[in-house]
């Protein structure tokens, strides 16, 4: 009997069944699926005390039971084999006999369906816009049970499915299994076609034991190549020697179970629902060992996803962030926190439109409409290690150029270059830090790329030169849509693009024309290397006129004001697939180009979600060639591996308190996704800014890894200079605070680049055994050391913050808080954001100046937060801030600081000339229990200051960064 049931670790057993030994090795990994207790087929041993009468009665009952069982097996087999076939001629019986059989079949089916709990019902009719009734459902050979009245009011899109798979639904069988040099390879066969066209009945499965903590599984069509995501992933040379996972396989129906070796926790179990592998519909489901699921971008939600019938659609779309909507990027990766604090990750390497369904089993279903099933399981075991293992596959994020970590200012609606310049001057005059000035599409001539308005922005080159003279930089927007309506010979980007064939074509091979800001436009095909060279040449030509320093690539889903093109799109299975995920607008072409559009590598149907990634790759490459420095790129649309080339901002948010709060979840999620250079538009993009909101947002934004203030056309200005003196001062203090943390933040980005660490970090990463941290998205950490507790509500002067177990120190004062894992009520007047240092930390800071170019030349101040035992540690990475690959070419300084038994030591592990320009001028130690009698620096006694709150400070040190030193007290 085919059966799909949730398997707990104790239920998974080896059956010892064998495949044909003539051609295959013994089948050693068959999962035995348990039957319900009340349907057990195991004979019971009779006791000696049973009388003969009871024996006879028992035999009669057994015969009756056996007859019922044979009938049921016959029904199940006939139902399974005929699920999608018309009855053969001559099969009909007499009406009375047929009615009796039908009633029996219906009763057996009803019983089999009704025992499936609601939380474990996997949707058999997921199409939107269909009112599913019994007739439609049973035509698919599925169970139909309307949800209970309490659940009926819920959205049908996200509610309990009324139509769901029965235990006997046909699926694949594993018919062969062979060893390979790195794992296993098997054949999957299905005898019965299902209800989506293009069923592929024979599949090849390959299991690769790539590392001890990384399992890779591919399920492909051996008879025909299918689209695969063209990003570089590591190739294992040999099989993992000591894998931390156990693999178990079910033969019929085919299923894969992955367990954590150390605990037996089932991380993946695909036996709970049938596998689909049709040309345009691929689906599999798995149990989840937990309800704590994160990632699955890009969506606006809490950091912790709900598993209450929550469908997350992935199809890049230009739309202001809103709940339950596919947004700008697609990231089919999740992180799961298990019982006991272990964590694992799952990544489906697929770029087609998809739905990911979370349900309260807890369970998850992947449903995509193209490509192959190519997925990874990462074993962690801690959440930070999961992310390290994930970015080992997709690529580590690039090390940003130093000024990327400064304060950026932008708006749509400066209207002139002189107006832009005035804002920059006002910032300088008010002593407010600013590293980068941006322009939105205002600067362009009629919204055309690679141009600037000769009237309103005629002084733009002068503005950029002035910024450079003040150690500031300039970033401009570029949209991918290239204007197509100019007279021939008047607009080089389009003319040259046509000549080289760089634009996306329609299904007939003609240049596809859509509409964006400049009017009718063509879209570059960034899957074509010829396009990369054309893009570079355009940027180089424009850079000779306006020497920009970085690029903002927007509208790159790609966005289109039309649905498809000016001549619509063909009517075929790419534009109207058998199943369309829950995309906004209901059509794949909604506000983008046709799915049938032709690109160099494939159709847009396959490449849509990769468009922003491919543009980012072309842009970063071009900037490296033009500037010979680390490229600065911020992109709206993203896909896994995007961090190699670009950062991300969270899109067109609103000036609302809710958007302030949800920005934290977005920032934390993208750090999980390997894109740590991320932030939201400070003060909000659309709607009128409120002064109090803008102050609180600037305080929070000062701790975004990427900090930019940006607002929309025709809104009131919201840069810090336009507000009241009190608000302006509070914003200035927050930004100066950010600049003082630059050495610490820069070092965090070094660890993200080299090790795959997160920069902005959820509390659960550092406290995985504290379940109270699992849902926290109103606070976050920088690295492991700095706890940020912002105000996220109006008209309050206090904020509640959760402090995991341990000692925490107020960053400003050094006052200590000892927590057992508790919430504390913190004072938070308008000019303050609460910051606390975690015990055991040493962080480097600097005196802040108006630009990072000036700030990063200042002496260092080390702040140490001691543990109960007096220990602490920290580090510092330093280089010239802009040269490409300084770590890879050994052009850097790296210093480790340790404190133990009243002695701080520095160990210079690597040094270069840049480090020789930096000195350490002062240090503070939080948590020194007793006032010292003296302090020694390199064995020489020096003055010191000790405060009653147990803070020891030493100034005027003059220590060279690249020289080892000791500071001790007694």
Buried b (16+ CB within 10 A) or exposed e, 727-766: bbbbbbbbbbbbbbbbbbbbbbbbbbbeebbbbbbbbbbb
Which letter does DSSP use for residue 31 in this model? Answer: B
Which among 549, 557, 766, 777 is annotated as catalytic? Answer: 557
Pairing of strands 951-954, 919-926: antiparallel
Neighbours of 271 (CB within 10 A): 26
Which stretches does DSSP call E strand in 149-244?
163-164, 173-179, 183-189, 202-211, 214-220
Which letter does DSSP use for residue 119 in this model? Answer: G
CB 841 within 8 A of CB 849: no
Cis preceding linkage at 13, omega within 30? no
Helix (H, G, I), strand (E, B) or coil at 284: strand
Per-position DSSP letters for 260-278, written without gaps between them: ETTT--EEEEGGGS--EEE
Pairing of strands 707-709, 407-409: parallel
Pairing of strands 681-682, 707-709: parallel
Of 838, 774, 822, nearest to 341 by C-alpha is: 774
Helix (H, G, I), strand (E, B) or coil at 650: coil
Catalytic site includes residue 914:
no
First to last CA, the chain: 77
Which among 29, 554, 575, 875 is annotated as catalytic? Answer: 554
Sort residue 821 into left (φ over 0), alpha (ψ -120 to 50) or beta. Answer: left
State the virtual CA torsion across 838, 839, 843, 845 in degrees, nearest 10. Answer: 70
Q: Is 22 exposed, middle or buried (0-12, 13-18, 19+ CB in 10 A)?
A: exposed
State the virtual CA torsion across 717, 719, 725, 726 in degrees, nearest 10. Answer: 110
Q: Look-up: residue for tokens 């693009």? A: 497
d(CA 641, CA 24): 39
Neighbours of 441 (CB within 10 A): 20
Report CA-CA distances (Å) from 168 to 78, 235, 882. Answer: 11, 38, 61
d(CA 760, CA 162): 41
Per-position DSSP letters for 675-714, written without gaps between them: --SEE-EET-SBS---HHHHHHHHHHHTTSSSEEE---TT
d(CA 521, CA 439): 21
d(CA 228, CA 245): 26
CA angle 519, 525, 528 (to 5 degrees): 160
Q: Look-up: residue for tokens 């362009």? A: 444
CB 874 within 8 A of CB 842: yes
Per-position DSSP letters for 120-147, written without gaps between them: GPPBS---TT----HHHHHHTT-EE-PP
d(CA 107, CA 130): 27
Cis preceding linkage at 716, omega within 30? no
Helix (H, G, I), strand (E, B) or coil at 735: helix
Token pair for 259: 């367990």
Catalytic site includes residue 659:
no
Sort residue 210 into left (φ over 0), alpha (ψ -120 to 50) or beta. Answer: alpha
d(CA 66, CA 677): 66
Neighbours of 821 (CB within 10 A): 14
Q: Which residues are catalytic?
A: 554, 557
């Amino acid at each position: 009997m085919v059966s799909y049931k949730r398997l707990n670790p104790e239920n998974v057993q080896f059956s010892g069944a064998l495949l044909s030994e003539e051609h295959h090795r013994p089948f050693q990994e068959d999962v035995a699926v348990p039957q319900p207790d009340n349907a057990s087929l195991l004979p019971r041993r009779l006791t000696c005390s049973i009388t003969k009468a009871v024996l006879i009665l028992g035999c009669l009952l057994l015969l009756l039971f056996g007859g019922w069982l044979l009938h049921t097996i016959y029904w199940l087999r006939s139902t399974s084999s005929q699920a999608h076939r018309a009855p053969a001629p001559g099969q009909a019986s007499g009406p009375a006999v047929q009615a009796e059989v039908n009633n029996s079949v219906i009763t057996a089916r009803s019983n089999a369906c009704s025992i499936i709990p609601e939380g474990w019902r996997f949707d058999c009719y997921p199409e939107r816009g269909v009112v599913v009734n019994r007739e439609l459902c049973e035509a698919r050979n599925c169970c139909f049970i309307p949800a209970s009245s309490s659940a009926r009011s819920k959205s049908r899109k996200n509610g309990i499915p009324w139509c769901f798979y029965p235990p006997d639904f046909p699926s694949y069988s594993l018919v062969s299994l062979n060893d390979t040099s790195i794992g296993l390879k098997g054949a999957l066969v299905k005898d019965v076609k299902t209800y989506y066209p293009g069923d592929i009945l024979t599949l090849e499965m390959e299991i690769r034991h790539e590392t001890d903590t990384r399992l890779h599984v591919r399920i492909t069509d051996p008879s025909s190549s299918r689209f695969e995501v063209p990003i570089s992933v590591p190739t294992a040379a040999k099989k993992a020697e000591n894998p931390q996972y156990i693999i178990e396989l079910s033969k019929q129906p085919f299923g894969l179970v992955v367990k954590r070796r150390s605990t037996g926790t089932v991380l993946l179990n695909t036996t709970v629902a049938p596998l689909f592998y049709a040309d345009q519909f691929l689906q599999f489901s798995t149990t989840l060992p937990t309800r704590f699921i994160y990632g699955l971008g890009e969506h606006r939600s809490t950091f912790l996803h709900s598993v209450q019938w929550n469908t997350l659609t992935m199809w890049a779309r230009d739309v202001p962030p809103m709940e339950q909507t596919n947004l700008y990027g697609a990231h089919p990766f999740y992180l799961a926190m298990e019982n006991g604090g272990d964590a694992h990750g799952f990544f489906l390497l697929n770029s087609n439109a998809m739905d990911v369904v979370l349900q309260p089993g807890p369970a998850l279903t992947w449903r995509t409409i193209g490509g192959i099933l190519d997925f990874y399981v990462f074993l962690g075991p801690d959440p930070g290690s999961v992310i390290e293992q994930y970015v080992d596959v997709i690529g580590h994020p690039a090390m940003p150029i130093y000024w990327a970590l400064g304060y950026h200012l932008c708006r749509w609606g400066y209207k002139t270059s002189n107006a832009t310049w005035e804002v920059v001057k006002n910032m300088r005059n008010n002593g407010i830090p600013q590293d980068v000035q941006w322009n939105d599409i205002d600067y362009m001539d009629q919204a055309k790329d690679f141009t600037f308005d000769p009237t309103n922005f005629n002084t733009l080159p002068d503005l950029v030169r002035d910024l450079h003279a003040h150690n500031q930089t300039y970033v401009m927007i570029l949209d991918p849509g290239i204007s197509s309506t100019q007279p021939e010979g008047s607009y080089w980007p389009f003319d040259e693009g046509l000549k080289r064939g760089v634009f996306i074509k329609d299904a007939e091979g003609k240049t596809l024309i859509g509409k964006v800001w400049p009017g009718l436009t063509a879209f570059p095909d960034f899957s074509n290397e010829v396009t990369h060279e054309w893009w570079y040449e355009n940027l180089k030509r424009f850079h000779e006129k306006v020497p920009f320093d970085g690029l903002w690539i927007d509208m790159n889903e790609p966005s289109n004001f039309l649905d498809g093109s000016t001549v619509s799109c063909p009517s075929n299975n790419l534009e109207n697939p058998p199943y369309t995920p829950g995309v906004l607008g209901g059509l794949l072409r909604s506000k983008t180009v046709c799915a049938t559009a032709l690109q160099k590598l494939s159709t847009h149907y396959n490449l849509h979600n990769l468009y922003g990634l491919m543009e980012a790759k072309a842009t970063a490459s071009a900037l490296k060639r033009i500037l010979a420095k680390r490229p600065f790129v911020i992109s709206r649309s993203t896909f896994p591996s995007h961090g190699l080339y670009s950062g991300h901002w969270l899109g067109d948010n609103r000036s609302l308190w809710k958007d302030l709060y949800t920005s934290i979840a977005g920032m934390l999620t993208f750090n999980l996704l390997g894109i740590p250079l991320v932030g939201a538009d400070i003060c909000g993009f659309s709607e009128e800014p409120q002064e109090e909101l803008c102050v609180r947002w600037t305080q929070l934004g000062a701790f975004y890894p990427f900090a930019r203030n940006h607002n929309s056309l025709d809104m009131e200005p919201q840069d810090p200079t336009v507000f009241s003196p009190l608000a302006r001062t509070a914003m200035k203090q927050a930004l100066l605070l950010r600049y003082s943390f630059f050495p610490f933040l820069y070092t965090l980005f070094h660890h993200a680049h080299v090790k795959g660490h997160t920069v902005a970090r959820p509390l659960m990463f550092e406290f995985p055994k504290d379940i109270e941290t699992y849902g926290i998205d109103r606070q976050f950490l920088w690295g492991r050391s700095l706890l940020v507790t912002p105000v996220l509500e109006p008209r309050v002067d206090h904020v509640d913050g959760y402090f995991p177990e341990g000692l925490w120190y107020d960053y400003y004062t050094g006052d200590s808080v000892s927590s057992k894992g508790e919430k504390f009520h913190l004072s938070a007047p308008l000019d303050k954001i609460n910051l606390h240092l975690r015990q055991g930390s040493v962080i480097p800071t600097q005196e802040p100046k108006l630009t990072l170019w000036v700030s990063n030349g200042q002496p260092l101040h080390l702040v140490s937060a001691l543990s109960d035992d007096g220990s602490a540690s920290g580090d510092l990475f330093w280089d010239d801030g802009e040269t490409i690959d300084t770590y890879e070419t050994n052009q850097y300084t790296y210093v480790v600081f340790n404190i133990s038994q009243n002695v701080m030591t520095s160990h210079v592990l690597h040094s270069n000339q840049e480090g020789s320009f930096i000195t350490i001028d002062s240090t503070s130690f939080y948590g020194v229990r007793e006032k010292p009698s003296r302090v020694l620096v390199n064995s020489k006694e020096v003055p010191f200051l000790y405060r009653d709150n147990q803070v020891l400070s030493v100034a005027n040190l003059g220590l060279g960064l690249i020289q080892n030193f000791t500071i001790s007290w007694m």
